[in-house]
Amino acid sequence: GNSVTQMEGPVTLSEEAFLTINCTYTATGYPSLFWYVQYPGEGLQLLLKATKADDKGSNKGFEATYRKETTSFHLEKGSVQVSDSAVYFCALSRNNNDMRFGAGTRLTVKP
Amino acid sequence: DGGITQSPKYLFRKEGQNVTLSCEQNLNHDAMYWYRQDPGQGLRLIYYSQIVNDFQKGDIAEGYSVSREKKESFPLTVTSAQKNPTAFYLCASRSTVGWNTEAFFGQGTRLTVV
């Protein structure tokens, strides 16, 4: 079945450090891939997405590239801020029936 | 403003009672979803609905029920048959126009069994 595996957290970084959160997927066909962010006590918000191989999604300094050959969609940011502290979820959608999420990675950025 | 609203934000239930969580959207989305979030387990799909008067079980439907009488509304009932209902519940909706559209989430309801 379709599934997403993302790196376990928590991840703790100092401000201005480089961030990578790994995400790999298993799916038939050509899913779309997403990164969502969840701030404390809130629902999820879309951070970025990519709909086909080699697409790069980007938003607020975050980037992720859809790599079909490695079935990966790793999230990166060159310089994190304290305000980036949140839980990040990788997700895939094979069609409009459902959306599968990874377990989430908690990021804490210290000043 | 368009969006998806869950209520209440916090809910307490005594063991053996049914409780209904509300989810309303004014985004004109056909598809709606309920997820359960537990610490360290990410989001697990409870039920989803692609159209009014139709819905399907997700991965953990046991002990839950839903209805979809209106496009805007997708309430979730947590029944007394759900053995461990304390969790954070998230409702989402998405458009079915186009392919693999993004999901929009409500703010969530935190249910605690006391």
- pLDDT tens figures, A32-59: 999 999 998 888 999 999 999 999 999 9
pLDDT in tens, B98-113: 777 889 999 999 999 9
Smallest CA–CA separation between B109 and chain A, in Å? Answer: 9
pLDDT in tens, B56-70: 999 999 999 999 999
Whether B85 has its CB under 8 Å from any CB of chain A: the answer is no
| Closest in A42, A51, A102 to B100, CB measured | A51
Q: Do the Cβ atoms of B99 and A95 come within 8 Å?
A: yes
Smallest CA–CA separation between A29 and chain B, in Å? Answer: 13
Cβ-Cβ contacts under 8 Å, B48 against chain A = 97-98
The highest-confidence range among A62-66, B37-41, B78-82, B99-103, by mean pLDDT, is A62-66
Mean pLDDT of the region B38-45: 84
Q: What is the pLDDT of residue B1?
A: 62
Cβ-Cβ contacts under 8 Å, A95 against chain B = 99-100
> What DSSP element (H or E) covers A11?
strand A11-14
Mean pLDDT of the region A71-93: 96
Q: Where are any strands of DSSP class E within B52-114?
A: 54-57, 64-66, 76-78, 87-94, 104-105, 109-113
- DSSP one-letter code for B60: T
A contact test, residue of B34, B36, B100 with most A CBs within 10 A: B100
Please count the other Cβ atoms lying within 10 Å of the Cβ belonging to residue B37: 22
Q: Do the Cβ atoms of A46 and B45 come within 8 Å?
A: no
| Closest chain B residue to A35, measured at CA | B102
| Closest in A31, A44, A49 to B90, CB measured | A44
Q: How far, in Å, are A87, B26, B76, B104 from residue B2 at the CA level?
A: 25, 6, 21, 11
First-to-final CA distance of chain A: 41
